[in-house]
Structure 1
Amino acid sequence: MSESNCLFCKIISHELDAKIVYEDEQVIAIEDINPVAPVHILLIPKKHIESLDKVTEQDSVIVGNIQIIASQIAKDLKLSENGYRVVNNCGKLGGQTVYHIHYHLLGGREFGWPPG
């Protein structure tokens, strides 16, 4: 999918509305419109990267920052005490539906293992 047709690129450029919970030069975090947990935040790099399979060494700072941002948002939302989950779906069989890498921050309920 090209960047011009990418749902997340349109949210990043503010062409589409979303409930933003965090934004900086590299990352935007929004509430998921179809939450599967009481807290369901999507962490999206502003750079269009199709999937985890397409991450390069040059992307390591962005991907690393997403982990730090996820941790901070979890602390801000009081999820740290009881726990939370951070998930990346990669490819069709991995459950990826939007082909712009993103991570799901899920919390507010107990999660089973194995997932799915």
Structure 2
Amino acid sequence: MKTDCVFCRIIDGHEKGQILQIWPDAIELRPLNPVTRDHTLIIPRKHVVDATSDPVTTAMAARRASHVARKGQHITVNIGAKAGQTVFHLHWHRFTCMGRKCMPWGCPA
């Protein structure tokens, strides 16, 4: 655990978080500032800075995200501050498409 990582502290029970699902290798958590009503984060228990740091952990977390995703949703990951990553512990976002507001290139409405 990294003591300065909010996700590590939540996983270890040292900080509160709205955990929705628990697996042996990951958790699903409601973010503090969701972009949609059903926005969740899939976070590996192992501290990995981003998706480029550990491909095996990244793939495992993506597999967990695919288990909870539904048709019409996005599962996405930000890599680094320039891509919008604000917590430097790998996490996949799952959220329902909001039409053209979802992604810069737009989504079908």
Aligned partners of 1:53, 1:98: CA distance in 2, in Å? 15
How many equivalent pairs are there?
104
Name the counterpart of 2:38: 39
Identify the match of residue 68 of structure 1 among 39, 43, 63.
Answer: 63
RMSD: 1.9
Percentage of pairs with the same residue: 28
Confirm or deny that 1:52 pairs with 2:21: no
TM-score (norm 1): 0.79
| Structure 2: segments with no counterpart, 5+ residues | none
Report deviation, 1:113: 4.3
Measured against aligned partners, the alpha-carbon deviations of 1:69-96 in whole angstroms (never above 9, x if no partner) come to 222222xxxx32xx11011111111111
Measured against aligned partners, the alpha-carbon deviations of 1:40-59 in whole angstroms (never above 9, x if no partner) come to 10110000011122114xxx
Aligned partners of 2:62, 2:50: CA distance in 1, in Å? 16
Q: Which amino acid aligns with 1:114?
A: W
Bigger relative contact order, structure 1 or 2, given CA contacts below 8 A and separation 6+? 1
Once structures 1 and 2 are overlaid, which stretch shifts more, 106-115 or 13-22? 106-115
Q: 1:112 to 1:53 in 2, by over 3 A?
A: closer
| Structure 1: segments with no counterpart, 5+ residues | none
Confirm or deny that 1:114 pairs with 2:109: no
